[in-house]
Amino acid sequence: MPDTKLPPALTAPRTRALALCGALIAALFGVAAFVPLPYTLTWPGVTADTLGSYQDKPVLTITGAPVRTPSGELRMVTISATNPGEKTTFWRSLRAWFDQDEAIRPTETVYPQGDPAKAEEVTAQQMVESQDSATAAALSYLHLSPDQVKVKVDLGDIGGPSAGQMLALGIVDKLAGDGKGGDLTGGLKVAGTGTIDDQGAVGAVGGVPLKTQAAARDGATVFLLPKDECADAKVNTPAGLRLVPVGTLGEAVSALDALRTGGAVPSC
């Protein structure tokens, strides 16, 4: 019968202790890989042309003034995220870390309210406020009275405040174009993001690296963004997408004019 005794080095107390520690560590990593973490997975979301339709309904319906039918596109962009109550695991988070089309963020920064129903309520209210501010900013820019001109916005169940800039530009393009009979976009596919207030100031929104991915995926060649987010936007910028930073609605209109006419265009 062959000798099956292990070498002394493999049966020594020190070796057995190290083997036990290794097994425990492996077990801990195994458990950690499946333990839910307080992080939310995000990725490029849908885009919608504010000059066109979304889910078979016009995004902008304007009454009280003549309305144009512009060419080109002015796309608002979104990011998608796992549900507020859904936890991601260590391995899923690690995979997202190395994927430029995904990002992992602390759940509290994506859903500060915690409760899923409350989160939806808040983002829906933010969208309503964004629509009102976009309308006020656009009509003020065009010197039109909100008592006369009415704007209805329909973006389905999209929430949040980040569509403000592109909604305002859509209203301006539909009502006045470039002011000379042409379109704001000059026929280009333009996307962008940014909040807007009643005075037309464009504000930061977050998630820009994912939004540029969504914009390029849906054919945009120009991306308008808040000035303060240039550094973020330059992370993994898609090839062929031109970043144009702006601080106000007026600056956004001027940038589009420069793109059409070959003038000096701001860049990140």
| 140, 199 contact by CB (below 8 A) | yes
**Residue 148 within any structural domain of the chain:** yes
Cβ atoms of 235 and 101 within 8 Å: the answer is no
Within a domain: residue 20? no
Element (H, E) at 45: strand 39-49
- The closest of 104, 74, 102 to 215, measured between CA atoms, is 74
- Measured distance CA(119)–CA(110) in Å, rounded: 9
Q: What is the pLDDT of residues 10-68, one digit of tens each?
A: 455 555 444 444 444 443 344 444 455 677 888 999 999 999 999 999 999 999 999 99
Domain membership of residue 240 (yes or no) is yes
Q: Which pLDDT value is given to residue 3?
A: 52
Q: What is the pLDDT of residues 231-254, one digit of tens each?
A: 999 988 999 999 999 999 999 999
Phi then psi for residue 193, to 5 deg, are -150, 165
If one counts the domains in the chain, the total is: 1
Report the pLDDT value the prediction gives residue 195, as an integer from 0 to 100.
98
Tell me, yes or no, whether 252 lies in a domain: yes
Looking up residue 149, the CATH number of its domain turns out to be 3.30.230
For 114, phi then psi, to 5°, come to 80, -60
* Residue 111 pLDDT greater than 90, yes or no: no
pTM of the model: 0.82
Domain that holds residue 167: 40-261
Query: Would you give the distance in Å from CA 117 to the centre of its chain?
Result: 21
